[in-house]
Amino acid sequence: MTWADFWALTATLNGEATEANCRRLAKELSRRPLPDIIGFAERHAEALYRLDQEKFGSLPVADMTDDKGEPFPQSGDSFLYARCAVVAAGRDVWESAFSDAGAFAPYTSTGYDGERLLYVPDEAYELATGKEWDRATRYCFESFSNKDGWPHLRG
């Protein structure tokens, strides 16, 4: 799947990974050939992997502070869900984040939760085949897996 095809499909989310939007995307994807479902999963994993960088992961949660009024750090899970929210927001937001971490910052808010987007490829596969998908992608999208994005974690 090309990046253009991936972003065109992602655009069906209308900028948010809501339950309804993700279900619509999974249904649309399930009507395509299996290589497209696999290709979407690969592009999605790569998009998340590329965002797995310290400059994004070290941003505080946008609308939270601790009991002393200090910025509240993202957890590994919340960072993954924020990256999903950035992908759901679309190509322009995703691309702009790389040159301006401020474009990523709003998606750390508890008002954005892109977690549901993680399950779209699996749901599409199951809709298309009637079977669960035990998949692996070339890129690991889990937080802190991009060693180039977290130089101090190398070694």
In this predicted structure, which of 13-17, 31-35, 73-77, 83-87 has the lowest mean pLDDT?
A: 73-77
Report the SS3 class of residue 71.
strand
Mean pLDDT of the chain: 94
35-57: average pLDDT: 97
81-103: average pLDDT: 96
41-50: average pLDDT: 98
CA distances 51 to 26, 30, 62, 96, 116, Å, are 23, 26, 17, 11, 17
Residue 154 pLDDT class (50, 70, 90 cuts) = low
CB–CB of 11/53 below 8 Å? no
49-67: average pLDDT: 91
Report helix angle 3-10 to 19-30, nearest 10.
Answer: 130
Residue with more model confidence, 135 or 32: 32
Alpha-carbon Rg for the chain, nearest whole angstrom, is 16
Query: Where are the domains positioned within the chain?
Result: 3-144
Residue with more model confidence, 111 or 72: 72
Residue 73: strand pairing partners: 60
CB–CB of 44/87 below 8 Å? yes
Strands 60-65 and 71-73 turn out to be: antiparallel
Residue 155 pLDDT class (50, 70, 90 cuts) = low
pLDDT, residue 64, reads: 85
Q: State the residue for tokens 């592009």.
A: 43
Q: Which residues, at least 6 apart from 70, have a Cβ–Cβ distance to it below 8 Å?
A: none
Report helix angle 120-129 to 34-51, nearest 10.
Answer: 170
With a cut of 80, say whether residue 153 has pLDDT above it: no
pLDDT, residue 89, reads: 97
